[in-house]
Amino acid sequence: MKCFALPLVAAAMAGLANAAQLPQPTTVEVFANMATLVAVPQTPAYKLQVYRLDVMALIEHQLSQGLPAVETDALAHLQRMEAQIRRKYQAQIVNAANGMTMAIHYKLDRLPAVVINRQAVIYGVPDVDKALAIYQQQSGARP
């Protein structure tokens, strides 16, 4: 029994040592589509950014609803509403564009993806706390 206990304790201690060597998260970036429910902590102790990569399609759909059928009338309507459209959608458009740029930079190949400290990526977990727990348990995979 003692022979098994010592290796188990040593293995457990080695696992704790590896987890302790991982840097604490300072930045967490979540990449998801609009259909994914992303769970984020209320007051994270790190910089948190959620990118919705498909928001442009949603905005296009919203803008096209209610447009006049005649192209010139539709264009005139959009020109009249340009300032309001910019105010309403600019932050979402910038977020989506930045998210696409970062997803390409990290070479992400599926969603959802949680990138921690710009070094480790956890795929398929839209819950930030769960993704961080996985990160702490593993050495982390390079994006």
Q: How far is 96 from 103, CA to CA, in rounded Å?
A: 10
**pLDDT tens per residue, range 49-63:** 999 999 999 999 988
Residues 71 and 78: beta-carbon distance below 8 Å: no
Strand ranges across the sheet with 120-123 = 47-52, 27-32, 113-116, 120-123
**pLDDT tens per residue, range 60-81:** 998 888 899 899 998 999 999 9
Give the total residue count for the chain.
143
State residue 142's pLDDT score: 45
Tell how strand 47-52 and strand 27-32 pair up: parallel
Q: What percent of the chain has pLDDT over 70?
A: 81
